[in-house]
Chains A and B, each alone.
Chain A
Amino acid sequence: MSSFNSIVSLEEARRVAIFGGTHGNEMSGVTLVNLWVKNGAEIQRKGVETKPFITNPKAVEKCARYVDTDLNRAFTPENLSAPQGDNQPYEVQRAQEINGIFGPKGSPDAYDVIFDLHNTTSNMGCTLILESSKDHFNLQMMNYIKKAIAPSSCLVLLNEHPLLKYSTSRSIAKHPVGLEVGPQPQGVLRSNIFEAMRVILKHALDFIELFNEGMEFPSCTVEVFRVLERIDYPRDANGNIIAMVHPNLQDCDWEPLNPGDPMFQTFDGKTIRFQGSGTVYPTFINEAAYYEKQQAFVTTRRESLVASSIRKV
């Protein structure tokens, strides 16, 4: 544990992976990774081995989120330690293979950084997903990226919630970074979304190169949105949804939602209001893939995290 004033010394980030197609219908990542597998010049940096990789090729082939089960929930300790075999769901087998190549998760041999490229149907803009508030390397990287793309914005979503946190593909790495860009429909490739993701990755790799060259990054404050809870659609006794995200909330990711504000609208036009005890910042509003995960949106609260000064060992 280090205090604000001391510098955290970290190993160089020598091995970096860029994952696309963790969800086979999220096209920016699939397209970028395929491009870089063919010609990786754009992602090369001095002193870094950067490996572009399609994590779920069968899902990409079908242009589906997954084949048997969501790969981005499959990297649990149980799955990774289970005996390998053909009777496992495809994505569990795949998680084990990926853990073998880029992990093992939790070991010193694991890749230093993994960027996992995702799209969302939600109006989230460019979002970086952080899995630990104590990952100073990632916090500094995210601060660097935010400053580099200003005045365009890139927000940071922190998912450290003990129950809502999940075992992502990127969680194998010492420093997992999720990139979520939207809105984009599944199966569609939008130019603006594609280019935005490409630019963020460029800055992320620049940061790693600078760090590896010995640059010291002074302590800084990073604003994050911390995941609080998942809110489901109102449903009937059979599990069918009985209301839709309200037009006033739709597309308003990251904007304050106050108690009493419209939240859902029934099919015959009635408003259901938010009943929370205080203002929250909703995100992942109306993400296609989350209907089956019982999630209409997640609530977050704004926090400022302090990143310690970092320098390579």
Chain B
Amino acid sequence: MENATFSPVSRVAICGGTHGNEMTGMYVVREMQRQEADQTGSVSITTVISNPRAVEVCRRYTERDLNRCFTKALLSSPITDSTPYEVRRAQEINALLGPKESQEAVDLLCDLHNTTANMGMCLIFYSLDWLTLHIYKYIQSNMTSAPVRALLMSSPKSEAYSLESVAIEVGPQPNGVLRADIFNMAKEAVDHTIEWLHKFNSGSTFEEGEVEAYTVVKSVDYPRDPTTNEITATIHPELQDNDFKLLQPGDPMFLSFSGETVKYEGEDLHPLFINECAYYEKKIAFHLAKKITVTLPSISVKKD
């Protein structure tokens, strides 16, 4: 593959507290603000607490999930008295860091999240972007404290409902809890990202190579009572905490409250976001993904 070149990445935003009860991002941002890390070498860093009201009450959101408010439609909708706080906030953030898909937008936006699922460190992408995938490759080869994986979401960038170029999702961590091991991992990933940007901006070439990624194919809901809609089973102990481990037909999937095992039927796929707290209301017990290999070209900064 031919070497791909990109403009320097001079403006990066690090966001935390997009969900007000996912503690790691909030504290990474606060620590970066305390250390006054707004300009390091060739990179200017903007740090943002995305949903301060939700952070204040330690809830995922106050009226609507902020991380679903960045669609074109919501970003351009007129603001009235009844507009939910998070829709307003999305427009503010878009003005501060965007506008989305314009020339004025920051070059890279990293949004820090936690999950209650046992996913270790997972970078979430919205498109096959060579630059961010190289960052992923760099983080993966430099971090040994936990597995680092890539998740590719399939909606086109303009319709992406969320904030980021890349989300850094770390788990497992309960809502409202700040674990030192998880914090240290996330901070390390952010530090490696900034390090990579310096190297890139100063002319390093990052060699071609292959990376593995997961792409979500479908989601599975909990078994529910048809009249009350209440869940009637929980993730089976053999599936619980086994994110990314291949799930095959016949494998235990759910354990009902009356003791029956519900087995998986379908093609061999990799489960993830297993038993994520916020997904009960979205009717998702876990996602299923297939593993793909992406070949990256070597990349370097465009020289004038």
Contact = CB atoms under 8 A, between A and B. Distances in A.
B35 A187 contact: no
Contact of A291 (B176, B184, B231, B277): B176
A244 B175 contact: no
A121 B174 contact: yes
Interface in A253-282: 265, 267-269
Interface residues of B, number: 33
Contacts of B277: 185-188
B175 A189 contact: no
Interface string A4-31: 0000000000000000000000000001
Contact of B179 (A191, A250, A287): A250
B234 A186 contact: no
Interface string B172-184: 1111111111011
Interface in A240-258: 240-241, 244-247, 250
B116 A268 contact: no
Nearest to A184: B174
B180 A265 contact: yes
Contact of A186 (B174, B240, B275): B174
A165 interface: no
Nearest to A262: B180
Contact of A35 (B30, B177, B257): B257
A199 interface: no
Contacts of B116: 185, 187-188
B180 A185 contact: no
Interface in B191-243: 230-231, 234-237, 240
Interface in B160-189: 172-181, 183-184, 187
Contacts of B181: 247, 250
B236 A186 contact: no
A185 B240 contact: no
Contact of B237 (A192, A240, A241, A291): A192
Nearest to B280: A187
Given A185-B277, A267-B27, A288-B174, A191 B237 contact: yes
B31 interface: yes
Contacts, number: 81
B180 A250 contact: yes
Nearest to A288: B176
Given A244-B183, A250-B181, A189 B176 contact: no
Interface string B242-274: 000000000000010100000000000000000
- Per DSSP, chain B at the interface is loop
Contacts of A265: 180
A234 interface: no
Nearest to B237: A191
B31 A268 contact: yes
A287 B176 CA distance: 9
B21 to A, nearest CB: 8
Interface string B30-43: 11001100000000
Contacts of A187: 116, 175, 277-278, 280
A191 B180 contact: no
A209 to B, nearest CB: 22
- By CB atoms of chain A within 10 A, which of B31, B59, B175, B278 has the most? B175
A187 B173 CA distance: 12
Nearest to A185: B174
A184 B278 CA distance: 14
Contacts of B179: 244-245, 250, 286
B31 A186 contact: no
A183 interface: yes
Given A188-B116, A192-B240, A246 B180 contact: yes
A303 B255 CA distance: 39
A247 B176 contact: no
Contact of B234 (A191, A245, A250): A191
A199 B249 CA distance: 30
**Top-6 shortest CB links A-B:** A185-B174, A288-B176, A187-B277, A244-B180, A267-B31, A121-B174
13 contacts: A34-B230, A121-B177, A185-B175, A185-B277, A186-B175, A188-B275, A191-B240, A194-B234, A244-B180, A247-B184, A250-B181, A267-B34, A286-B179
Interface of A: 31, 34-35, 64, 121, 183-192, 194, 240-241, 244-247, 250, 265, 267-269, 286-289, 291
Given A187-B278, A244-B179, A247-B181, 4 more contacts: A31-B257, A64-B59, A191-B235, A267-B34
